[in-house]
Structure formats: C-alpha cells, structure tokens
Structure 1
Amino acid sequence: MANLVRSAKSGSSWGMNELIAFNIEVIDVNAQTFFGNAILPQLTLSPVILDNLEEPAGPLHKADMDFFAYMEDAMIIPPGEESLVDDFAAFVLKMMHYDEGRRVIHLRKEMGFEMCGQRVDAKTDVCVMERSGTGAKYLLLVQEDKRHLSRDDPEPQLIAEAIAAFYENNRARKAAGLPKLPSRTFAGITMIGTAPTFYKIPVTDEVLISLATSQYPTQVTTVTKLVPPVPFPERLANDGMKSLVNRRIILQCFEAFRQFLN
C-alpha cells in the first residue's frame, strides 16, 4: 500500500483508491455498537408525521406540511440534475433540533485541506456548525449520493469532507491563539432520497500530515458506519421514509445520532 501512486484530488473526486492509499477503512456495525445502546430513543415528534403515509387532509401546522412536501420532493430524482435531497436533509436536521443553541445549518459550505503538497477543495452538501469565540467549527457533514449523475461513491467524499472540516477547525483555533486539537471524530451522513446512512469519522493530525506529504499512515483510520435497522434494508434506498416503519426507525436514529455532535 505504501507504493500506491498518490496525487492531489478535491474531495468530490475522492474514491476507494484514496481510502486505500491513506489507510482508511470503513466497517459496518449494528445499532448497539454504533450508539452504545440497542434500544433506539423514543420520539416526541408530531403524530401527523409519524402516523401518516402522506399529508393528511385538513388544517395542519406548517412544520407538518413542510415535512411531507420536502419528503415528496426528495424522493424525485430529476434526470441530469441534482435532486432536492439537501433541502430535505437540512429540514430534518432542523426538525430534530440539530441547530439548538449556537449551532447553525448551512448548505454547500466550501472547505479545503492539504494533499500531496497542494491545497485542495472540499464542499459539503449540508453541515452543522457551532459558532463560538474561536469562530464557527464543523460538527456534522452530509453528502448526497449523486450516483444518478455520476459513478462517484458518496462515502469517500464524506470522509474527505471530514478531513477538511478537521483542517478548517484547527486553522480557526490557530487564528484564535489556541492549540490545535490532535484528533476529532466527526458525525457524517450520506443520503439517497430520504434514506440516510450514519458515520463516525475519526480524523487525526497524523492523517493530515500523511495527506500533505503523500505518505502512507502507519495507523489505520477506522470509520464506523450504520445503516438504519429497518425491516428490509435491501429496499431502504427506494422506500426511505415513505414507509411508516422506516420513518420511525430512521428518525429514532437521527435522535440518537445527535449525541455525537458534542
């Protein structure tokens, strides 16, 4: 692996080769391992959202109407153009209180990091940031699965974005006169339609140095991945949250996942 050819690539161009070249592996785990608890948390969401396949007739709260509108739009994949998945993801994060306190949700935020002696760019589709005295820092990143437009796998792209987020967070700390953090684990999500996959992505200073200098890291970086434990995971990409059973389980996963923003 140390003899693989490494070259500077933007985050949107990352693929399996970059993961292999920099000793990054992704492993699937169950909910017990991922969340530390096999029992998913209870939800306090509107029963209109939890108990109706589609928007029911009659007067509704705006948030309930918006959920069904965004969900319907996200399930449509227009040929030759980006879908509305990012809007749905941002809505769900807000609905699940990922923007509490000084946290904000942004779309298409641009970042960068050093790779093979060059600065390369990375752009997250959706992110959660926290504003503080050291400037805004990245907490969570969302990458849409755009394989209806190209063959690019969203997983390596999401990992590249986490690396860029770590680089940018430490750059903000340095500008504020604070020491760099040696490591951080980022929350990440890939989305296809209304179906998410959840990730915990550790990034270390060693990884940044290896990327900048084109070296193979001696320590493997292990990213953990959770596919929501729905009854029929093979249909998750197509069914997403249109299924009431799936919807409840997925939203419970969002509720449990919020703990990793701290």
Structure 2
Amino acid sequence: MSSLIRSAKLGRDWTINDLLAFNIQVVPKDYPNFFGIDRLPPPAVSPLILHHETMPVYLKDIPKHHKNRSDWKFYQLLSDIIHPSPGQEPPVDDFAMFLLDMMDFDEGERVTRRWREMSFVMCGQRVSAETDVCVMQTINETATYYILLVLKGKVSVDTEAHFIASACAAFSENSDLRSRLALPALESMTFPAVTFVGSTPTFYKITVTEELLLALASAQYPATPTIVERLVPPVPDLVSFHVSGMLQVNNRLAIFKCFQAFQHLVVSTATS
C-alpha cells in the first residue's frame, strides 16, 4: 500500500484509495465493544416517539409555537425527509441537529452548529473538508473546538472516506486552536461521529493522531494504522435498516439507546 499514489484533494473527493494510501481501516463493531458496556442505556426520549410510527392525530392540532413540541417536530421532520418539498433536498441536517438538541448533546458548554468548513494540510497543500452538523465545546467567549461530527451521505465507502477526511480537518483545527491558546498539544483525539442516510444513522469513533496528520501533510504511508470503528445499531431487521431507518418504530428504541450511549462518549471527549 505504501506505493499508492497520494495527492492533495478536498475531503469530499476522498475515496477508498485514500484510506488505503494512508493506512486507515474501518472496522465494524458490535455495541458492547464499541461503547465498552454490556447493556445499552434506556433513552431519555418521549414514549410517544418510541411507540408510534406516525404522528398521532392529536399532535397535528398542537400550535407550532407550543413550548413543548419536540414530539410534533420529530414527526414533522421525519415526514419532510420522506416527502421533501418540490425542488428541495430532504432536511437531513435539520433532523440530525434536532435529535442532538433533543437528547441534550448541547448541554452545558457544548453547542450544536450547522455546516462548518475546516481545513488541513494534505501532500503539501491546504485542503478543505466539511461537516453538515457538529457539536462544539466552548473554551471561552471566542473559542470553540470540535467534539462530534455529523455528515449526511449515501451508503458507500466513499462517504466514510469523506467523513474521515472531515475528522482529520477537525483534529487539525483543534490542534491549531490549542496552540494559539498555549494549551498542551494534542497527540490524538477520538471523534464520536454519525452519518445519516435519510433517517438511518451509523455511528463511528474516528481516532486521529498527530502521526496521521504528519503523514497526510508529507504524503507518506504511516507505520501505525488508523482504526476507525463503525457501529450499525442493533435493530431487529438489519436487511431493511438502510431503507427504513427511523421510519419503522421497531428500529427507534435501538437507535435512541445508541444515541444515549453516544452522549457519554461526547461528554468524555469534551472533558478530556
């Protein structure tokens, strides 16, 4: 693999070849090995969302300005993903941001943000990468750093490659920020990350190291492999999961349990 051609490219142009060229491997895990727990925690989610496949009739009559409208908004966004407005993309990023906020990923000094452009050095050139939604940790009034990444995409290896490039950019931005603030340098950082294909989430832990960043910058094959862990939620029917996602109520409990466990990873990332 060390003989593969390496060239500077935008994060959205990464492919499986770039993962091979920089010794990056994506490894599937089950939830005990991914989260390091024997049992997934119960989700702090409305029972109505967990047990009703479509919006109950009475919810449709709740005014939009009602102060407690999370249930209504969940079903509305889910419906918009299935039936987007003519000429509009499904609001996957709005849905992802809503889920993170509903489950308190933005608690304390954490904030959720929509589309962010980041950059890192690849093969001697500075290139950009994006994240559709992210959670950031506030350091002071003017400084925040990335602790969770969300990307919408398709079921493909290339989507994973785009996502890993975004994590490299987030690590680079975090490292630059810490340097400006005279904080200790980062040797590595594990980003909790989620891809959404429609309403179907897949969870990742992407560990980026200073060694990988140096290899990217100098177009070298790193001796140490970068291991990216992937978790598909333990839903009842994995065959149809990529199509059904949260549309099927049978999937929601497993998905939200994973989000609940994922929140603990985000908290530990923010405090490390």
Q: Could you list the per-position Cα deviations for residues 200-221 of structure 1 after superposition, in whole angstroms to 9, with x for gaps in the alignment?
A: 0000000010000000000001
Q: Percent identity over the alignment? A: 46
Q: Tell me, what secondary structure is at the counterpart of 2:57?
A: coil
Change (3 A) 1:81 1:69: closer
Aligned residue among 221, 224, 232 for 1:227:
232
Determine if the alignment matches structure 1 residue 84 to structure 2 residue 102.
no
The residue identity in structure 2 corresponding to 1:21 is A
Match of 1:139 in 2: 147
Q: Following superposition of structure 1 onto structure 2, how do residues 1-262 of structure 1 map, counting pairs within 5 Å?
A: 1-59=1-59, 60=62, 61-76=68-83, 82-133=89-140, 135-146=143-154, 153-261=158-266, 262=268
Cα offset, 1:172, TM superposition: 0.5
Unaligned ranges ≥5, structure 1: none
TM-score after normalising by structure 2: 0.91
The residue identity in structure 1 corresponding to 2:262 is F
Unaligned ranges ≥5, structure 2: 63-67
d(CA) in 2 for partners of 1:86, 1:66: 14
Cα offset, 1:255, TM superposition: 0.4
d(CA) in 1 for partners of 2:85, 2:233: 25
Is contact 1:76-1:193 (8 Å) kept?
no
Q: Tell me, what secondary structure is at the counterpart of 2:58?
A: coil
Q: Could you list the per-position Cα deviations for residues 63-116 of structure 1 after superposition, in whole angstroms to 9, with x for gaps in the alignment?
A: 110010111112347898643111101100111110000111111101000000
Q: Tell me, what secondary structure is at the counterpart of 2:139?
A: coil
d(CA) in 1 for partners of 2:159, 2:88: 16
The residue identity in structure 2 corresponding to 1:103 is R
Change (3 A) 1:101 1:184: same
d(CA) in 2 for partners of 1:117, 1:220: 21
Change (3 A) 1:78 1:114: farther
Q: Tell me, what secondary structure is at the counterpart of 1:8?
A: coil
Change (3 A) 1:79 1:213: farther
The residue identity in structure 1 corresponding to 2:18 is E
Q: Give the aligned CA root-mean-square deviation in angstroms.
A: 1.8
Cα offset, 1:44, TM superposition: 2.9
Cα offset, 1:152, TM superposition: 7.5
Is contact 1:24-1:221 (8 Å) kept?
yes
Count of matched residue pairs: 259
Q: Could you list the per-position Cα deviations for residues 185-205 of structure 1 after superposition, in whole angstroms to 9, with x for gaps in the alignment?
A: 101111111110000000000
TM-score after normalising by structure 1: 0.94
Is contact 1:117-1:213 (8 Å) kept?
yes
The residue identity in structure 2 corresponding to 1:6 is R
